[in-house]
Amino acid sequence: MRTLQGTPGSPGVAVAPAWIFSRAALDLPEEPVEDPDAEVERLRDSAEQVAADLDARAAKAEGELAEVLEAQAMMARDPEMIDVAAEAVRKERTPAARAVVDAGETYAEALQSSESEYMAARASDVRDVCARIARRLVGADDTFSQMSQRSVVVAHELPPADVGELNRDLVAGIATAQGSRTSHTAIVARALGIPAVVGLGEVEVDPTDEIAVDGDSGQIFVQPDEKTRSEIEGRAARAEDRRRHLIERAASLEGDTRTRDGHRIEVAVNVATEVELKAGLEAGAEGVGLFRTELLYLDRTNAPSRAEQSEAVRSLLGLLDGKRLVIRTFDFGADKPVPFLNLPSEENPAMGVRGVRLARDQPELLDDQLAAIADAASSGDRIAIMAPMVATAEEARWFVERVERAEMEAEVGVMLEVPAAIFMAEEIAEVCDFLSIGTNDLTQYLFAADRQNGRLGSFQDHFAPALLRAVKTVCDAADGRAWVGVCGEAAADPLWAMVAAGLGVEELSMGPEAVLEMRVSLSESTMHGCRAAADAALQASDAGGARRAAEDALG
């Protein structure tokens, strides 16, 4: 058994045979070809088939993915690249599969050395296209539709063209060498409930290997021993049981989520993409509590056009069909650099010019985003807009005024994640329709503990009484002035959510995978019990104590 450590990409566990998706796994033929003309013919046919397949996928895709696929189809038909490969076949008698991979590599290397991030990203598109042509030439599998049994997909990275085709019934788990928690593969895997480990560095496995994936710890086990195997299988079976049980308990749920004693608590979903929204709605989400708009900006060398931004909002509104969409205006800056802004680097980006601070610095960027949202809205849509990183009542007033100038019907709010804003929550609530507590950043700033620093992980416990008291302060200050929501990771934990409801939180927004369980848990609780749990947890002196106190109070 070999154990490899990566990053947890999507929770859950699975064990199944490997299904290798990678160029490295391609066995490129070496033998010189006998009939070069026939081989060139095969090359052209295969390239055209790949191009046609990519065109077909592009037609079904939307937005940026569609553009990537269209460009990839053109790459497969690229006359110069095909000529370079054909020449190698004719002159060196190189097999077409090898010739096309080699030809692509010369372009990929040139692109990769470009200073532009965008060009470097195109290098992997080129490699992906050439690998597709080569796979077709050697008759190797290249899409999940050819997968014959339930497997763990092992890849260097999953090209965007394929992530969209993941099928929960066939793909038991995913293990990739590249990627992070926020990469496309991880987002889609979480939305679909497929366990995934990403960023493994290297994954060298044989097609005959069995792979166990632990998406909770971020480990994979190649050829797991009996003990590991049965442990993983046991956890997978328990998770499946829980899921089935949950679906049974959820069967009686109808409409809005209410406690047994009739208090409404809105269960919403956090999204950056349509895939997540679809998954959330399927689980019964009552709206979107956090739409992260950064995906539209990151890795871009130009600002997204107003039409493009508007289209992204409109596609979500279409799916929501009158349910509320809470849009967070762009939350980036030195911490998440965007190429087209050319922002100066900062010593301490987490505390630097980001979120609403960047919006004040470059108001035209915010106005453009607000105009795009206004364009997307039509009657019957419920839109709410909030600003990230607000620290003062004055900033909140500035933001509200900016939204008012965009002339649209929308609720206006701010994210509470800066400690100073907690103490000014009353004044901020006076000018806003709602306050949304971002527990991840708030915890980081409350404890002055970098959330990316693993050695400070213990500070990120959402049951910390300091965080609970901050939530109480906000709820008390907002009472009668604005509604309060929570959209950090804490909101996905049912026990924490009950404590928050007891403190006065009216809306909880979480990843799509947590929605169903949350609706069931809240529906089986009482507001009376939630308040008792909140009172008990507030008295505790540490996170462990607060958790136990809440559990005890709820019996």
Partner 1 sequence: MPEQEVTLDNEVGLHARPAAVFAKKAASFDCDIKLVKDGNEANAKSIMSVLKLDVTKGDAVTIRAEGDGAEEALSDLVELVGSL
Which are the catalytic amino acids?
Answer: 184, 487
Part in contact with partner 1 (CB under 8 A); list of ranges 64-72, 225-233, 323-331, 383-391: 64-72
Distance CA 292, CA 156 (A): 27
Calculate the alpha carbon distances from 163 to 166, 191, 399 in Å: 6, 12, 37
For 433-498, the three-class secondary structure string (H helix, E strand, C coil) is: CEEEECHHHHHHHHCCCCCCCHHHHHHHCCCCHHHHHHHHHHHHHHCCCCEEEECCHHHHCHHHHH
In the list 61, 119, 365, 495, the residue contacting partner 1 (rule: CB under 8 A) is 119
In the list 41, 48, 55, 70, the residue contacting partner 1 (rule: CB under 8 A) is 70
* Binding of partner 1 by 79 (CB under 8 A): yes
Stretch that binds partner 1, among 40-48, 117-125, 154-162, 485-493 (CB under 8 A): 117-125
Q: Which is nearer to partner 1, 207 or 340 (CB)?
A: 340
Of 1, 74, 237, 247, the one binding partner 1 by CB under 8 A:
74
> With binding defined as CB under 8 A, does residue 297 bind partner 1?
no
71 binds partner 1, rule: CB under 8 A: yes
Return the number of the residue (59 or 237) whose C-beta is nearest partner 1. Answer: 59
118/144 with CB nearer partner 1: 118
- Minimum Å gap between C-beta 311 and partner 1 is 14
Q: 138 by DSSP, 3-state: which?
A: helix
Instruction: Select from 463, 483, 351 the least CA-distant residue to 417.
Output: 351
How many residues bind partner 1 (CB under 8 A)? The answer is 22
Which range of residues in 3-11, 43-51, 79-87, 528-536 is near partner 1 by CB under 8 A? Answer: 79-87
Least distance between partner 1 and beta carbon 112 (Å): 11
- Closest distance of CB 471 from partner 1, Å: 43
* Binder of partner 1 out of 120, 298, 303, 495 (CB under 8 A): 303
126 is an interface residue for partner 1 by CB under 8 A: yes
* Residue 364 is a binding residue for partner 1 (CB under 8 A): no
Residue in 80, 169, 321, 347 binding partner 1, rule: CB under 8 A: 80
| Residue 127 Cα distances to 23, 108, 139, 140, 214, angstroms | 8, 7, 18, 16, 29
Kind and range of the H or E run holding 154 = strand 151-155
Residue 480: both structure tokens together: 């009668």
d(CA 45, CA 327): 47
Residue 254 makes CB contacts below 8 A (sequence gap 6+) with: none
Phi and psi, residue 267, nearest 5°: -105, 115
CB of 353 to partner 1, least distance (A): 22
**Which of 128/266 has CB closer to partner 1?**
128
CB 199 within 8 A of CB 176: yes
Contact present, 260 and 294 (Cβ < 8 Å): no
The total of other beta-carbon atoms located within 10 Å of residue 426's CB is 16
Residues in contact with partner 1 by the rule CB under 8 A:
67, 70-71, 74-75, 78-81, 107, 110-111, 114, 116, 118-119, 122, 126, 301-303, 340
